[in-house]
Amino acid sequence: MNFENCISTGTKLDRYVILKPVSKGGFSIVYLAVDQQTKERVIIKEFMPKNQAKRLRNNTVTPISATKARLFQKGRMLFFQEASILTTLKHPNIVNVINFFRANGTVYMVMEFEAGDNLQCYIKKKIKNGLSERFILTVFPTLLEGLQVIHDSGYLHLDIKPGNIHIRPGGRPLLIDFGSVHRRELSRLHQPGQVMTTGYAPIEQFKRTGYVGPWTDLYAIGATIRSCLEGRPPIDSRLRLDKHQLVDAKTLFKKHYSQELLKAIDWCMEMDPELRPQTVAELTEKLPLLEETKSKPSQWLLRLTGSSRR
Ligand SMILES: Nc1ncnc2c1ncn2[C@@H]1O[C@H](COP(=O)(O)OP(=O)(O)OP(=O)(O)O)[C@@H](O)[C@H]1O
Ligand SMILES: [Mg+2]
């Protein structure tokens, strides 16, 4: 990883000491750090939009130009909002935000450190064969329990994709990166300016008048499961409006996965939001169940991640 623009190892920040940067995204830098009081490792996410801000020698983060200043301030406010929402959303499958604070002209979010890797890394390792149905049915029904809590609390995630799903030992999934979290009561219309990930974002997220709802996150869930089979993101939903057809998962993967699972993927990925499952519960009901994973998820996953399809 390129360490340019990152805070250096050993720097004190509030009650934490930076150990190393672990990831650099378009809007933030994620660090591994240690809490000086508890001695526990934590993850600190710093608001640092790379096209709008730079770091000064004293670590202060400042807009790169006067024209970018307003964007930076708005983004910083939304980041602060993301952190405060997350401190209220408590669930074993939602990343645990334990603190957030302002420093260096920006905002920091402190999360419990979780061992594991994101789902994108698992997909890359299995790019030729696809992840097994058992792996998928170990991870997704549990992940959907967390998503249900987000929806029940009146929020939408709006950026579900493999890179934002962290898989802990034993296959226990964790939904992370709430940078696009959206409060449903404020507006059912999608807000322009939010970040969309090609392949995972349905058409209503690209339209100014797009009507977002739980069905929007469920399209992304379907696209994420499909990429576990296919090894790459599905085509951009905007291209599907034209002549670019997405061949049904039901047809494409019928040799290797159950019809129930494939039908669920195609259902989530319907272009028309009204044809998709409208709630997490509707989808969960149609997903095949793995009885074994209920009792011993860790042992199953150890076997599954090392095995081929089904
Ligand atoms: N609590 C955590 N424990 C361990 N690793 C984490 C944790 N949170 C995030 N990570 C790791 O850091 C990576 C980046 O995190 P995240 O998705 O939140 O930020 P990002 O995508 O870099 O941000 P953005 O795109 O908004 O700038 C994740 O894919 C994951 O591997
Ligand atoms: Mg991310």
Protein residues whose CB sits closer than 6 Å to any atom of ligand 1: 22-23, 25-28, 30, 43, 45, 95, 111-114, 118, 163-164, 166, 176-177, 179
Residues with CB under 5 A from ligand 2 (ion): 163-164, 177
Q: Which residue has tokens 């939602």?
A: 94
Largest CA distance in the chain: 59
Which pair of tokens denotes residue 95? 């990343």
What's the gap in Å between 17 CA and the centre of ligand 2? 23
pLDDT in 10s for each residue of the chain, 310 residues: 777 889 999 999 999 999 999 999 888 999 999 999 999 999 999 999 999 999 999 999 999 999 999 999 999 998 898 898 889 999 999 999 999 999 999 999 999 999 999 999 999 987 778 899 999 999 999 999 999 999 999 899 999 999 999 999 989 999 998 877 776 654 455 554 566 789 999 999 988 778 899 999 999 999 999 999 999 999 999 999 877 789 999 999 999 999 999 999 999 999 999 999 999 999 999 999 886 655 554 444 544 554 444 4
Q: Enumerate domains of the chain plus CATH numbers.
A: 12-112 (3.30.200.20), 117-305 (1.10.510.10)
Q: Whose CA is nearest to atom 5 of ligand 1?
A: 114
Q: Whose CA is nearest to atom 18 of ligand 1?
A: 177
- Chain centroid to Cα 246, Å, comes to 23
Q: Whose CA is nearest to atom 9 of ligand 1?
A: 176
What is the number of the ligand 1 atom nearest to the C-alpha of 27? 27
DSSP conformational letter for 295: H
DSSP, collapsed to helix, strand or coil, labels residue 29 as strand
pTM of structure: 0.89
Which pair of tokens denotes residue 111? 């999360």
What's the gap in Å between 241 CA and the centre of ligand 1? 32
Q: Whose CA is nearest to atom 20 of ligand 1?
A: 25
